[in-house]
A = this chain, B = another copy of it.
Amino acid sequence: MVDATKEPARLTRKGQATRKRILGAAADLILKQGVAATHITDVREAAGVSGSQMSHYFHDKQALIKDVIAWQAESALDAHRHPELGKLDSFDAWRLWAKLITEKQAARGCAGGCEFGSLAGQLVESDPETRADIAVGYEQWLDLFRQGLHIMRDRGDLRRDADPDALAHALLGTMQGGMLLAQTLRRIDPLRDALNAAVSYLETFATERSLDD
């Protein structure tokens, strides 16, 4: 995947800002009205750039969508770089993860949902290349989870029969679905309850040793 946060070196700081403005405008429009109804000219107008600027940064709509996906994936990962979350390698970190997500959604009245998940829901069946780009984003996210869970198992916090792959699937899947439910119902409890269930399930794999801490 192209890392959309690392702009091509040739871009000036101003150029990087323009490129990000275009990506942000495109992401907003796609989330609001769907990808098919989002035309390059709409994005150009929303971002306040000229046609020649637009084609300088993104040569066509496909290129733009690819970079919007990469940019939203990177944003999703960035949200986990909270200092207290560390490497998501302790039960406390996972409880905090659930709390931070719940608080963030509650603060915005559960509107908007998960930006990356919304993009995935919109685009997953559009074409194979786009689906593959979204899949790369999810795999990076799962990797982040798996790494923390592996550390916990290696350290002896999680039992040997805990499967970091399976736990990562459960934690991310539950989060994505809980977000969609809360977003649709415009109440926080479906998300809070789903995340609580996922983290409580993770805790069923705690070793005796880690419970003594």
Pick out which of these stretches binds chain B: A56-64, A84-92, A193-201.
Answer: A193-201
Complex interface residues of chain A between 144 and 176 (CB less than 8 A to chain B): 163, 165-167, 169-170, 172-176
How many copies of this chain are found per oligomer?
2
Does A100 reach chain B (CB closer than 8 Å)? no
Does A204 reach chain B (CB closer than 8 Å)? yes
Instruction: List B contacts of A186 (CB < 8 A).
Output: 131, 135
A99-134 interface code vs B (CB 8 A; 1 in, 0 out): 000000000000111000110111011100001001
Would B32 and A34 count as touching, CB distance under 8 A?
no
Does A208 reach chain B (CB closer than 8 Å)? no
Complex interface residues of chain A between 49 and 74 (CB less than 8 A to chain B): none
A121 and B112 alpha carbons, distance in the complex (Å): 10
Given contacts A170-B198, A172-B177, 20 further A-B pairs with CB under 8 A are: A31-B125, A34-B35, A34-B36, A36-B36, A113-B125, A118-B125, A121-B122, A166-B189, A167-B193, A169-B178, A169-B194, A170-B174, A170-B193, A173-B178, A173-B181, A177-B194, A198-B201, A200-B204, A201-B201, A201-B204
